[in-house]
Homo-oligomer: A and B are copies of this chain.
Amino acid sequence: MADVDKQSGHFLEYAFNPRSIAVVGASDHPFSFGYHFLRHLIDYGFKGDIYPVNPQRESVQNMKAYHNLLDVPGDIDLVICCVPTERVLSLLEQCPLKHVKILHLFTARLGETGRPQAIDMEKQIQTRAAELGIRIVGPNCMGIYSPAAGIAFGYGFPLEAGKIGAVFQSGGAATLLIQNGWLQGLRFSKVVSYGNAMDIGENELLDYFTMDESTKIIAAYFEGVRDGRRFLSSLKQAADRKPVIAIKGGSGEAGTRAVSSHTAAIAGSANLWDVAFKQAGVVRAGDIGEMVNLAMLFNWLPPVTGKRIGIMGGGGGKGVISADLAEGAGFNLPTLSDSIREQLKEIVPELWDWLGNPVDFSIWGDNGIKAGEIPRIFNTSPDFDFLIVQISDENPMADDWWVNITRMEVDNTINISKQGMKPVIAVLSSAKPGFHDYENIRWRTISEYRENLMAARVPTFDSISEAVAAMSKFIAYWKTH
- Chain A positions within 8 Å of B, measured between CB atoms, are 30-31, 33, 36, 39, 108-109, 112-115, 142, 153-156, 168-176, 179-180, 183, 221, 223, 247, 249-255, 257-259, 261-263, 286-289, 314-321, 323-328, 332-333, 335, 353-358, 360, 362-363, 366, 392, 394-402, 429-438, 440, 442, 444, 447-448, 450-451, 454, 462-465
Q: Chain B contacts of A323 at CB under 8 A?
A: 250, 252, 254-255, 257-258
Residue of B nearest to A252 (CB): B327
Q: Assess whether A170 is in contact with B249, with CB atoms less than 8 Å apart.
A: no
Beyond A172-B392, A255-B321: 19 further Cβ-contacts under 8 Å? A31-B397, A39-B398, A156-B442, A168-B317, A170-B315, A171-B317, A173-B318, A175-B394, A175-B396, A221-B317, A249-B320, A249-B324, A251-B324, A251-B327, A254-B357, A254-B358, A258-B316, A258-B320, A262-B317
Q: Chain B contacts of A176 at CB under 8 A?
A: 317-318, 394, 429
Q: Assess whether A31 is in contact with B366, with CB atoms less than 8 Å apart.
A: yes
Residue of B nearest to A260 (CB): B356
Q: Chain B contacts of A366 at CB under 8 A?
A: 31
Give Cα distance in the complex from A169 to B39, angstroms: 56
Q: Chain B contacts of A223 at CB under 8 A?
A: 317, 320
Residue of B nearest to A316 (CB): B262
Residue of B nearest to A449 (CB): B435
Q: How far is the CB of A425 from chain B (nearest CB, A)?
A: 16
Q: Chain B contacts of A360 at CB under 8 A?
A: 258, 261-262
Residue of B nearest to A170 (CB): B317
Q: Chain B contacts of A318 at CB under 8 A?
A: 170, 172-173, 176
Q: How far is the CB of A374 from chain B (nearest CB, A)?
A: 15
Give Cα distance in the complex from A399 to B396, angstroms: 38
Checking B180, B316, B354, B402 against A172 with a beta-carbon cut-off of 8 angstroms, the contacting residue is B316
Q: Assess whether A320 is in contact with B434, with CB atoms less than 8 Å apart.
A: no
Tell me how many chains of this kind the complex includes: 2
Q: Chain B contacts of A169 at CB under 8 A?
A: 317
Give Cα distance in the complex from A180 to B446, angstroms: 13
Q: Assess whether A321 is in contact with B356, with CB atoms less than 8 Å apart.
A: no
Q: Assess whether A30 is in contact with B397, with CB atoms less than 8 Å apart.
A: yes
Residue of B nearest to A154 (CB): B396
Q: Assess whether B30 is in contact with A254, with CB atoms less than 8 Å apart.
A: no
Give Cα distance in the complex from A355 to B109, angstroms: 12
Give Cα distance in the complex from A332 to B153, angstroms: 34
Residue of B nearest to A249 (CB): B320
Q: Assess whether A447 is in contact with B433, with CB atoms less than 8 Å apart.
A: yes
What are 22 A-B pairs with beta-carbon distances under 8 A?
A: A36-B397, A108-B363, A172-B395, A176-B318, A179-B394, A250-B320, A250-B324, A251-B324, A251-B327, A251-B328, A253-B327, A253-B333, A254-B323, A255-B320, A258-B316, A258-B323, A258-B358, A262-B317, A286-B325, A288-B321, A434-B454, A435-B447
Q: Chain B contacts of A168 at CB under 8 A?
A: 317
Q: Chain B contacts of A450 at CB under 8 A?
A: 432, 434
Q: Chain B contacts of A363 at CB under 8 A?
A: 108-109
Residue of B nearest to A351 (CB): B113
Checking B249, B257, B335 against A356 with a beta-carbon cut-off of 8 angstroms, the contacting residue is B257
Q: Assess whether B179 is in contact with A287, with CB atoms less than 8 Å apart.
A: no
By CB atoms of chain B within 10 A, which of A168, A249, A288, A324 has the most? A324
Known contacts A254-B327, A324-B255, A358-B258; A31/B394 CB under 8 A: no
Give Cα distance in the complex from A153 to B323, angstroms: 25
Give Cα distance in the complex from A310 to B167, angstroms: 29
